[in-house]
Amino acid sequence: MDGVLADFEKSLYTLFPQLTHYAKGSDELKVQVDTLCATEGKRIFHDLAPMTGAVDAFNLLCEHYDVYMLSTPMWGVPESYMDKRIWIENVLGINAEKKLILSHNKGLLKGHYLIDDRLKHGVEEFEGEHIHFGQPGFENWITVIAYLREKDNW
């Protein structure tokens, strides 16, 4: 969800301007965010802006695949579990109903593709193909959709 469907970092730097010196997507940044959210009671997930093209891409993917959202909530912020669900419901609508899976080990889940911006939380053990969102070849939703359209002939 974060960094793939939802623009986590845009909201993050607005809430916590003191974090702008951390590298985007870095583990250090994630640790600082977890700590700040837990200690300051910040609830950031249900108000995130969607990534450019994410909603249209999600709806298009739903026409061709059985799509689930797989996300890792903040262990120290129990509200993040609920807030992620609220975001999915509010932003993605009916196609996302009952399609959210929260796990700290993405390698346990089955599927053909996992579109994720990180290599953490079991992504490298996922049995299908990891589409590394934001990296060369998969820079944005336009390139991801083009890749899947060509690979699966739709």
Q: Which CATH class is domain 1-154?
A: alpha beta
Q: Which two tokens stand for residue 110?
A: 């089955």
Domain ranges of the chain: 1-154
Coil, helix or strand at residue 42: coil
What's the pLDDT tens digit per position in 16-73? 888 888 887 777 887 888 888 888 877 888 778 999 999 999 999 999 999 999 999 9
Q: What is the mean pLDDT of residues 93-108?
A: 94
What's the pLDDT tens digit per position in 64-86? 999 999 999 988 888 899 999 99
Q: Which pLDDT score is estimated for 42?
A: 75
The partner residues of 129 in beta bridges, in order of sequence, read 113
Q: CB within 8 A of 9, min separation 6: which ones?
A: 3, 24, 25
- The CA-CA-CA angle for residues 91, 130, 93, to 5°, reads 15
d(CA 132, CA 78): 27
Amino acid at 6: A
Q: Is the pTM for the entire model greater than 0.85?
A: yes
The larger pLDDT score, comparing residue 89 to residue 22, is at 89
pLDDT at 153 over 80: yes
d(CA 124, CA 41): 32
d(CA 59, CA 109): 22
Q: Which pLDDT score is estimated for 55?
A: 98
Q: Do the beta carbons of residue 113 and residue 131 sit within 8 Å?
A: yes
d(CA 126, CA 103): 13
